Amino acid sequence: MRIVELLNNIQLPITNEEAEVLDMFTEETKELYKHKLDERHVVMANRLVNKDVLYRINENGRIIYKKRIAGPSRT
């Protein structure tokens, strides 16, 4: 389990699998493309969208995930 802080300063627990998807974001990687993720990571990314940790954008028919959280996740 990890705790992430949302933009409105609310702390939210996430699972280790969801944290694995968040760890894919780096300084260079600010967005993830759905077509590059495996099926399980897509499910986890969609859970994070539902928890308001990520947001999903449709750009020209391509789904992109971006972070919505304020800071780095903590253990």
pLDDT in tens, 45-75: 999 999 999 999 999 999 999 998 765 555 4
The pLDDT score that the predictor gives to residue 71 is 57
Exposure string (b/e) for 47-68, b if CB count within 10 Å is 16 or more?
bbeebebbeeeeeeeebbbeee
pLDDT for 37 equals 95
pLDDT in the model for residue 16: 94
CA–CA gap between residue 72 and residue 75 (Å, rounded): 10
